[in-house]
Chains A and B, each alone.
Chain A
Amino acid sequence: MIFEELAKTTKDMQVLQKKMSIQRNRDAQEATDAKFRVLLSQADQFVAAIDYLYSNTCSETNTEIINSITDVLNTLESAIDSGLADSDTVVKAENIYKNTQNEMKKDWTKKYSELTGATVSTLEAIKGIATDKVDECVEKIKTASAWESSSQQLESMKEGLDEAEELILSLGLDEEIKTFLQNTTDGKATLKDLNDKVLKWIRDEGLENKIRISFAKVITKL
């Protein structure tokens, strides 16, 4: 029935036309798709990393970072809204991601220090007691010294920290010594903390040359 055939064939031609158009843009699309997928993968790792971070460490949740990475995800979502990843949108998402990553790196530097500083100082202090174990812990903790959006990095760090705590405890140190070490690690130790027990333990352990005295600076927290 040609009457219907005409209409159907006309439609088929329209489809073909579209497909042909697609065919013509396939390489570019694939590049976009690849970029899209890489970006999404990075974002996914990023989310996984911060999720581990916020879930398994005492690190505070950075809302800005969360918002920022959410923005990346939203942009990626809109990039495939038409059915095909839109190159421009993907680029836009990529830029947002880069910014997020940079922010995260900055934030991490600070957070890493907070998370690992005292422990590492303590470990330095007790290094002479159990050198190998201290080195091993320090090594694991330092894995996460730079933000790499990697959960494994963070897990390694946490493992180092946990092992360091366990090591310190196993040394049987007096509470006052532990406080001193803790304050020293935190930069809060003052001469007042140098009681006899502490001095004795320093002398006994020959740590006199390893402790430096300085004037404390009052820091006002904003």
Chain B
Amino acid sequence: MNSEIAKERISYVARPDSITSSDGDFLATHVAIKKLKVLDKFELAPTGGKSHTEEELFRDYISNPEDKHQFIAVYGQSGTGKSHLIRWFEARYEQNKPKDEVILFIRRSDNTLKGTIRQLLEKPEVQGIANKDVYERLVKAAISVEENKLKDMIYHNFIIEVNNDNDEQDLKITNVKRKRLVSLLNNEVMHDHLMSEKGPIERMYSKIAEHTLVDRDTIAQFQASDFVVSSELFEDLSSAGADPKAEKMARELMSDEGPEEAKKIADYLNQFVGEVIQRCAGIEPGDFKQIFLDIRKELYRLDKKLTLFIEDVTSFTGVDTALLDALIEEHTGKRDGENLCRISSIIGTTNNYLQNNFKDNHKDRITKYIYIPSDVLDESGLYEFVARYLNTMSLTEESISDWVINHANPEDYPIHDVIEGKKWEYVTINNGKRICLYPFTKRSIVYFYSNVLQNGHQTPRYIIRDIIEPVVRDAIFNKEHFPSIEIVNVNDNRILSTRIHTQISDEKEADRLLKFLSIWGDGTPNQYDKNNEVYISDIPRGVFDDFSLPILKLDIVVPPTEGKQPVVEQPVAPNTIVVEQSTDAVPAAKIKKVDDANKLLTKWTNEHIIDISATVGAAGTIHSAVYDEIPDYLYTAINWQAEGVTLDNAKKVKDSSLLFVALEGQTKKEGLYILPASWNSINIILAFIRWKEYGNKSWNYPDADFDAYLITTWTESIKKELVKKVREYKPGKEALYIEAAISAEIYRTILNGEFREKTLKNFNSQVLLASKPNKASTNSHCKEWNSLVSLMGQKGADQNNQQTVRGYFNIEQAGARSVVVLDAPLLSKVFGKIKRNKLVIPDEDKQLDDKVKLRKDAYAFLDDIVERIDSVAKAELELGRDKIQRIYDAFGDDEVGEEELAEFVDRAKKFFAEANQTQINVKECSFDGVKKLPQIEKAISDIASVLDETDPLTIIMAFSGDPVTVINPLIELIDNLENEVEKAKTQISSKLSLIGGDSAGGEDSGRYDAELKCILANKSKLEGMVNA
């Protein structure tokens, strides 16, 4: 490499598009292709058959030894070098062409329709053709139509074409379907869909409009996917009020047969693409063909013959049919009474375009097919390809020009003077010439080819763009940090990594060296002496000096025997990962993931700060390790119970935002144990990452034993400190959240009516741990009571707390997880303390600032209760007082026992019976709610017992059984009775007045007084008569 020259030349030489480089550079970088196939009939991806060199093909076909009409198609996947080959054919033919041969080479650099025609008209050979001025006016008339208008023109021209289809096309659809299609295309939603950024109209627009950024692989056509109607699209269509015909077609395209139907529609419409594009570009369909015929006539007139090289026929979208028609027309016939010159056409195209866009009659008229396979370069070809580019960019333009001027003979091929990289590998090309591979090693070229190039990109274009250009630029412009470009390291050897990091303190340098040894070398922690040269990871020591790479000592091994080359010997196949531990089969993506994480961690050790809040990328990989893998591992690896920490506590810490282990300088989240920003920490974290990524959370991956060793020894080393921090809420203060949890749980059971006794005396551990949910769906507690219960249930706080209480004292038995053993002594101790303190935890003992949220939650939960319990008790007591007073008032006594209740019910029943007899209209009350008089008596007694009480716990316990609900039916009966009695009284009074009121009954006493007096007087008289 001559970097001084290369710095200037790299931009000119390393161009992925062969057409854009100069002839000299093109020839100097050209590597003979040896695996070309020649076919008589089209095959999409031919296998087998004889391989030909480009030279053979040139000799047998391109040079047209028989001087006949021919039409040769060169095809292959995008980037395989079709353009390169066609250009080489053109250049080769230019040097040896007969005198009467005119060569037209159509590039695709100006990839629009008009651009293509312009290229044709610029050829000196056609300057004298007929109608030239007309054609020039045609192509110079700039399309001034604005973008949206032009796109709409394209779109509506398709509708016009479909509307006016007279079944003259090859592909036909029924009249009904055609009408539906027109309706669908006329629909606004469908219009917007097809006009979208990645839609077909945009693709076609790029072929018409000038000055657009053109993707050279774009084919201006409809695709089946354009017409697949998703349910969302259908809904939009439908809700926008689509025409029934449009809706029918949309429904058809949405059905199971949708994709098939969509393809039919796309194929059908594609028939009109050429015509539509031409019309929108302002060119009549016949124009293009006419231009070609005029060119041929002119050449015939000049007694010339035409050889046409077209780099890429896809650039002729819109006129491709016309062009092909012009090309296949043989000179033996006559056109318009004029003779045409002979034409030999060599056109480049992609597999798909050839398969789908060439009509069968065109395919039949193709004389030969030349197929370029994707893996056109074998291993030595690959080396030579890279070497020629390296050589060309190290040579001045003049030296290349001189060589070209002198017919570019291979034997005269210039080789640059090696300034940098004398000790690097060389590649031998024809005639024994050797080219220095600096800054590549063969191993690195293979590595890049196999691991950096994506599937389908292992073609010359991408070798230049993704390998040669970036690596050379890195080497010449960023020498002191070479290799600095991002490369997936699939050769990650931990032992080598350990060796490097133990010997090199500078993390960046260590990382650079690891990358170099892993990709440029064999990635092993080995070194050996051979021919008085030390080889480190199979790279000669001298090479290290060129990039000031640090030298380190590795494990000395026996040098490899002759014949066993450190590089792969097999031809490179796409997607083959070439790593030394080929049997280990760790996917490259995963290796890259670990490598990226390693880089970020290395940065961390330098900067002592790291942001791993993201969940994607390298930060995401480390995030996962720190947030998930490490806590998961430590939680399961440490025998917490044996260390005196309940599993509940350990789990709460694990599940909290507080990490078991955080990184030093971690921007978000705290940890109990801080992992220092050191190389050793990196190894630990990477071991966890590998455990997850390589082993899918197992130790089943290469060198896992080393990682397992690292992790287990590290765990032991931090265990004591970690356990202490888990056990304690603050240094020296044990986490006592269980006390708060139990207090709160007792409150909960009381408030929920699960424990209904008046004292805590019988609140034993069975009550605490058993689940006897109160099934009552309604209650008569005061608003404050229910608000508190509701508050306790928010976000499952009550259940979480209950779970804490139930799980805290469990002792898990190894291997018998279903058997729960209770830590009864601990339970008894804690429970006894809480009961003695009547559920009170002094403020100073509350651990409300516990960083472990799940532990703090217990205190917060208890606080929520305690803060409200006084007002709840007061409100409940007031409610109870009101209710019971109502009863007292009704009975006129504050001693209401079962006897009084029974009497009351009896009186009420008599009242209704009498009302019935007296025909007083009252509504008979139900006595169902007062059937269980002892319960009512107890409820009254419960409330009465705390009427003068001030202790909230005593009060809520008295009300735990919801006595108000029990007495409510009685109060309801009282209310109803009062109403009915009032009604009865009114009716009685009314009836009495109707029947004469008091007089009716008042006369009873003296009704016959006078009469009786009279009787008595007479009787007295009579007695007197008798006695007289």
Q: Which residues of A contact B (CB under 8 A)?
A: 1-7, 9-10, 12-20, 22-23, 33, 36-37, 40, 43-44, 47, 50-51, 54-55, 61, 63, 66, 69-70, 73-74, 76-77, 80, 83-85
Contact = CB atoms under 8 A, between A and B. Distances in A.
A80 B1011 contact: yes
B974 to A, nearest CB: 6
12 contacts: A3-B900, A6-B911, A9-B981, A12-B985, A14-B918, A22-B1000, A36-B1011, A51-B1021, A66-B1025, A70-B1019, A70-B1022, A83-B1004
Contacts of B1008: 36, 80, 83, 85
Given A4-B892, A37-B1011, A10 B996 contact: no
B915 interface: yes
A23 B995 contact: yes
A10 B977 CA distance: 12
B907 interface: yes
Given A3-B904, A36-B1011, 12 more contacts: A2-B978, A3-B892, A13-B914, A13-B917, A15-B1001, A16-B918, A16-B988, A51-B1021, A61-B1025, A77-B1012, A80-B1012, A83-B1004
A22 B915 CA distance: 18
Nearest to A51: B1021
B1015 interface: yes
Contacts of B1016: 77
List of 6 A-B pairs having minimum Cβ-Cβ separation, nearest first: A1-B892, A23-B995, A6-B907, A80-B1008, A13-B918, A47-B1018
Given A14-B914, A73-B1015, A20 B991 contact: yes
B676 to A, nearest CB: 82
Nearest to B920: A13
A45 B911 CA distance: 52
Contacts of A76: 1011, 1015
Given A3-B892, A19-B995, A73 B1022 contact: yes
B785 to A, nearest CB: 29
Nearest to A84: B1007
A77 to B, nearest CB: 5
Interface of B: 889-893, 900, 903-904, 907-908, 910-911, 914-915, 917-918, 920, 974, 977-978, 981, 984-985, 988, 991-992, 995-996, 1000-1001, 1004, 1007-1008, 1011-1012, 1014-1016, 1018-1019, 1021-1022, 1025-1026, 1028
B894 to A, nearest CB: 12
Nearest to A61: B1025
A176 B494 CA distance: 191
Contacts of B904: 3, 6
B991 A16 contact: yes
A191 B504 CA distance: 200
Contact of B890 (A2, A7, A23, A83): A2
Contacts of A7: 907
Given A20-B991, A70-B1019, A10 B910 contact: yes
Contacts of B891: 1-3
A5 B1016 CA distance: 43
B1018 A17 contact: no
A24 B924 CA distance: 27
A3 B1025 contact: no
B1018 A19 contact: no
A1 B977 CA distance: 11
B995 A20 contact: yes
B1007 to A, nearest CB: 6
Contacts of A54: 1025, 1028
B985 A61 contact: no
A150 B900 CA distance: 69
Contacts of B995: 19-20, 22-23
B1018 A73 contact: yes
Query: Dominant SS at the B interface?
Result: helix
Contacts of A61: 1025-1026, 1028
B1018 A44 contact: yes
Nearest to A12: B988
A6 to B, nearest CB: 4
B914 A10 contact: yes
A208 to B, nearest CB: 47
A9 B1000 contact: no
B1025 A13 contact: no
Nearest to B977: A2
Question: Which of A2, A69, A85 is most buried by chain B, counting CB atoms within 10 A of its CB?
Answer: A2
Contacts of B908: 6
Contacts of B974: 2
Contacts of B992: 16, 19
A7 B892 CA distance: 13
A14 B996 CA distance: 16
Contact of B1025 (A4, A20, A51): A51
Given A23-B996, A84-B1007, A77 B1015 contact: yes
A67 to B, nearest CB: 8
Nearest to B908: A6
Question: Which of A10, A14, A33, A43 is most buried by chain B, counting CB atoms within 10 A of its CB?
Answer: A10
Contacts of A4: 892
Nearest to B991: A16
Contacts of A18: 1001
Contacts of A80: 1007-1008, 1011-1012
Contacts of B1015: 40, 73, 76-77
Nearest to B904: A3
B1019 A74 contact: yes
B917 A17 contact: yes
Question: Which of B893, B974, B978, B1025 is most buried by chain A, counting CB atoms within 10 A of its CB?
Answer: B1025
Question: Which of A1, A9, A47 is most buried by chain B, counting CB atoms within 10 A of its CB?
Answer: A9
B484 to A, nearest CB: 97
Contacts of B918: 13-14, 16-17, 20
Nearest to B892: A1
Question: Which of A7, A16, A17, A43 is most buried by chain B, counting CB atoms within 10 A of its CB?
Answer: A16
A9 B979 CA distance: 12
A14 B992 CA distance: 12
A2 B981 contact: yes
Nearest to B1026: A66
A66 B1028 contact: no
Nearest to B1004: A83
Given A6-B908, A10-B911, A20-B995, A43 B892 contact: no
Question: Which of B915, B918, B977, B988 is most buried by chain A, counting CB atoms within 10 A of its CB?
Answer: B918
Contacts of A55: 1028
A76 B991 CA distance: 33
B982 to A, nearest CB: 9
Question: Which of A4, A6, A18 is most buried by chain B, counting CB atoms within 10 A of its CB?
Answer: A6
A3 B1015 CA distance: 47
Nearest to A7: B907
A15 B1000 CA distance: 11
Contact of B907 (A3, A14, A33, A47): A3
Contacts of A12: 985, 988
Nearest to A46: B1018
A24 to B, nearest CB: 9
Given A13-B984, A19-B992, A84-B1007, A47 B1000 contact: no
A43 B974 CA distance: 59
B892 A44 contact: no
B890 A3 contact: yes
Contacts of A74: 1019
Question: Which of A18, A37, A77, A84 is most buried by chain B, counting CB atoms within 10 A of its CB?
Answer: A77
Nearest to A23: B995
B1012 A9 contact: no
Nearest to B1019: A73
Nearest to A70: B1022
A137 B575 CA distance: 172
Nearest to A4: B892
Nearest to A29: B1007
B1011 A6 contact: no
A13 B991 CA distance: 10
Contacts of A50: 1025
